[in-house]
Amino acid sequence: MMKKWRFGLLMVAAFVMLMLAGCTNSDPDAAPEADADTGTQEVGEQQEAAVNEEGKVEIEFWHAMSGGGQESLDAIAQGFNESQDKYVVNPEFQGTYEELLTKLRSIGGTKDAPALMQVFEIGTKYMIDSGYIEPVQKFIDEDSYDISQLEENILNYYMVDGELYSMPFNSSTPVLLYNKDAFREAGLDPEKAPETFADVIAASSKLKTDEMYGFSMLTYGWFFEELLATQGGLYVNEENGRAGNATEAVFNGPEGLNVFRFLDTMNKEGTFGNFGTNWDDIRAAFSSGKVAMYMDSSAGVANAIESSPFEVGAAYIPHADEVKRHGVIIGGASLWMSKGIADEEQQAAWEFMKYLTTPEVQAKWHLDTGYFAINPAAYEEDIVKEKWAEYPQFQVTVDQLQDTEPSVATQGALISVFPESRQQIVTALENLYQGADPQQVLDEAVEGTNRAIEIANQTSQ
Amino acid sequence: MSTLREDAAPVEVIKPPGVWTRTRRGRTAILYLLPSIILFGVFVFYPMFRTIYLSFFLTDQRGEAAVFVGLDNYRYLLESAAFLNSAKATILFVLYTVPAGVILALFLALIANEKLKGIGFFRTIYSSTMGVSVAAASVVWLFMFHPSIGMFNRFLALFDIGQIQWLLDPDWALFSVAISTIWMNTGFSFLILLGGLQNINEHLYESAKIDGAGYFYQLRRITLPMLSPTLFFIITISLINAFQSFGQIDILTKGGPAQSTNLIVYSIYREAFVNYQFGTASAQAVFLFLCILVVTILQFRFGERKVHYQ
C-alpha cells in the first residue's frame, strides 16, 4: 500500500509541475488577447453588419420572457419583420433575467453580443456603467422621436441624468390582491380593500381561520422596495443614487422599520402566512384559499383571477398610517442597444424599438401578458377597453401607476449591486419570520449591502 | 519506476546509457499519459489554479481581478457568520445524507440480491432513480413538499397531524432536502453495491452453509468483508457528492429559509453568479476543496484499513 501511495504522490507532483509550467506560459498570452478585445470595443471600430441572403440586416434580440410572454414577443417580432423589408429581428430566449445578465457579462462589448437585449430594471445602473451599450437617447435626438407619448411614470424610472439610456419595455407594479368571498364571510366590505398597514393588520386578524391566513407577501426584495417607496422612503443615499454614486444603503430608517414592524406584528399574531420565495407557491396558496390577501405583480393579475374559484379584488398596495401614499416604483425590464456593432444593426434595433412602442403593439402586449402599455394610447384601443370591462382589476393597476407622485423615492434606487442587496433583504425577512428583532435584521441587511456597494465602488475605479 | 530501471541496468553494464536512452521509458509513459494530462489540465487544473489566483482579488463588474487583497477574502469568510453557517449546514447535510443513503442502498441491494422470480423488476425499480435527473427529481419533490397542495401535508392531514412547512421552516428545510437527496442517490449506490454483491464467489456461501452458518453470520463474516471495496468506493463518492450538492438546493430552497440550506457550493454559486464577487466565491471554493481533500485523505488513511481486497 505504501508503494501505491508514493506512486500516487509522484504523479500528483508531476501534474502540478506540468500545470504550473502550463499556466506561466499561457497567462501572458491570454492577457494581450483580452486587451485587444476591450480595445476594439472602446474605439468602437466599424463592424460589418450581418446581412442575410435576402439582403436584409439581421439582428439578435436576447430576452427573458418565457411562457405566454415569449409567445407574444415572438409574434411581435414576426409582425415587425413582415411590416418592412430592411430588417429582421430574431428573438432568442436566454433564461431568467439573472441568467441573461450573466451571459451578457461574458460577451458584452464583443462582436458576439446581441444588438438588442432585455435587462431587468435593477440592472439599469450596471448596464450604464458597463460601457457595452449605446444610449437610445442618441437615436431619440437624431430621429426627433417624441418620448412624451410614453407613460411618464415609467420613463421616470429609466431616465438617468435627463437621458434615456434604454427603451422601457415590459413594466409592472405590485398590487394587493384579495379574496372577496373571504372578506364577505369575515364580515368585511369586499368592495373596500384595506389601505394602510393598520387596516391590513386588522383585516388579517378577522380573516384568519384555521384554514386561512390573513395576509402574505412573497419573500422577495422587490416588495420591500415598493412598501418603502410608497411611504417616500429612500433605499440608498445620494438621492437614491440618482444624484451621484450611492455609497450607503439607508433603508433601515423609520420607513423601512415600519414595513418590518408591519410584517412582524402579523407574524407574531399568527395571521401572516409565509409561503417562501417562490412565486408559484404563494399564488397557489391564494387560489387554493390558504391566504386571503397577498401582493402580486400586476403582470400576475390575469392569472390570479382565472385560477381562483372565488372573486378576486385588486387594490393599491398598503402604506404606513402616518404618511400619505406616494405610489409605486416601476418593475420589469427595458431594452438596451449594443455599442460597437454596425450602424445598420443599431438602426435595426432602433426601428424595432419604435415599432414596439406603437399603441397597437402595446395593446396586444398588455393584454397578452398583463404588463403595462408603455404607450398609454394603447389603453384607448378597443381590444383593451373590452378586456377592462371584463377584468376591472386591470384598471386598478394602471390607476395606481398613474396616481404615483414623481419623486426620487418612487423613481427607484440606482445601484449596480441590486441583486446582492435583494438577497440581503430576503435573509432579513426570513430571520424576521423566525422571530428576530426588526431593527437588528434590517441593520444587518444594510451592512451587507454596504459591503457590496463598497466593493463595487472600489473595483470600478 | 525506479525498480524497473535497476532491473534493466545490469544487462548493458559495458556502456552507461545516455540521458536520452535512460529516459526512454519515462518519455513513453508521458506520451501515453498525454491525452489525460491535456484534458485534466484544461478542465481541472487550469480552472483550479485560476480559482486560487482569483481568491486573492476583488473582482470588478466584468469579473476580472481588480484589487489585490491578499488573504482578506479568507479572513472575511472566517469572520462571516453567513459563511460559518454555510459550513455548519454542509456538515449537517453530509451527516444526514451519507450514512442513511449508504445503509438504505445496502439494504435494497441485499434484498434484491436474492434469487427470486421477477427480481429483475425490483432491481430495475430500485435503480430507477439513477435515470432521473436532479432537476426533474427536484421538481417532483418540490410538489410533494408544497405547503398548500403538497402530498406530504395532505397525508399528514389524513391523520390529523399538524402541518409541516417542509421547505419553509428553517428547522425542517435541510432535513427535507436531505430526504430528497437520499432518494436521488439511492439508485446509483444500489446499482454499484448490487454489482459488488454479485461478484462475491458463490462457493464461499456454499462452504458456509455446509458449516452451518446462518444468514446474519454469513452477512457479517462473508458479505460485508467481501463487499468492503465497493462499500468504500460508495462511501467516498457519496461523501464527495454530498459536499457538492447543488441542483436540488437551487430548485427546492435557493439556500433559504434563513440560510438554513445555503450549502457551501450553493453559496459559491450565489456569490459568483448573482453577486459577481468572484474573489470571495473563489476563496470559498478553495476552502471547500481543502475540506474535501482532508476528508478524503482521512478516509483513505483510516477507512481503507478495514477494506479487504481479494
In chain A, domain spans: 57-171+331-390, 174-327+417-459
Partner-chain residue, chosen from A10, A130, A434, that has the shortest CB–CB distance to B61: A130
The yes-or-no verdict on residue A37 having pLDDT over 80 is no
Tens-digit pLDDT profile for residues A111-126:
788 999 999 988 898 8
Q: What is the mean pLDDT of residues A393-422?
A: 88
- Residue B101 confidence (pLDDT): 94
Domains and CATH numbers, chain B: 2-54 (no CATH), 72-306 (1.10.3720.10)
DSSP element (H, E) containing A159: strand A159-160
Q: What is the mean pLDDT of residues A343-365?
A: 92
- Residue A27 confidence (pLDDT): 38
DSSP element (H, E) containing A180: helix A180-185
Tens-digit pLDDT profile for residues A179-237:
999 999 999 999 999 999 999 999 999 999 988 999 999 999 999 999 999 999 999 99
Cβ distance of B46 and A275 shorter than 8 Å: no
Half-sphere exposure for A280 (CA within 13 Å, toward CB):
8
* Contact yes or no for A142/A345 (Cβ under 8 A): no
Partner-chain residue, chosen from B37, B168, B259, that has the shortest CB–CB distance to A18: B37
Å between B61 CA and nearest CA of chain A: 7
Within 8 A of A416 by CB-CB distance, chain B residues are 61
Confidence of residue A11 (pLDDT cuts 50, 70, 90): low
Contacts of A215 (CB under 8 A, 6+ apart): A200, A203, A204, A207, A266, A271, A272, A273, A291, A292, A293, A294
- Distance (Å, rounded) from C-alpha A17 to C-alpha B49? 12
Cβ distance of A427 and B40 shorter than 8 Å: no
Task: Give me the residues of B, 35-94, that contact A with CB < 8 A.
Answer: 37, 40-41, 45-46, 49, 58-64, 66-67, 82
Within 8 A of B277 by CB-CB distance, chain A residues are 420, 452, 455
Question: Measured in whole angstroms, how far is the alpha carbon of residue A276 from the centre of its chain?
Answer: 19
- Residue A28 confidence (pLDDT): 36
The yes-or-no verdict on residue A17 having pLDDT over 60 is no
Phi-psi map region of A161: left, alpha, beta (phi>0 left; psi -120 to 50 alpha): left
* Contact yes or no for A201/A311 (Cβ under 8 A): no
* Minimum mean pLDDT range among A65-69, A261-265, A303-307: A65-69
- Residue A14 confidence (pLDDT): 54
What phi and psi, each to the nearest 5 degrees, are found at residue A332?
Answer: 115, -140
A57-171+331-390: which CATH topology?
Answer: D-Maltodextrin-Binding Protein; domain 2 (3.40.190)
The residues that bridge with A172 in the sheet, in sequence order, are A331
The yes-or-no verdict on residue A18 having pLDDT over 80 is no
Chain A, chain B: beta-carbon pairs less than 8 Å apart: 104
Q: In chain A, how long is the greatest CA-to-CA distance?
A: 84
Residue B299 three-state SS: helix
- Residue A160 confidence (pLDDT): 86
Within 8 A of B66 by CB-CB distance, chain A residues are 458-459
- Is the confidence metric ipTM above 0.85 for this complex? no
Confidence of residue A402 (pLDDT cuts 50, 70, 90): confident
* Contact yes or no for A216/A282 (Cβ under 8 A): yes
pLDDT greater at residue B11 or residue A205: A205
Cβ distance of A416 and B61 shorter than 8 Å: yes
The residues that bridge with B116 in the sheet, in sequence order, are none
- Residue A80 confidence (pLDDT): 94
Architecture of domain A174-327+417-459: 3-Layer(aba) Sandwich (3.40)
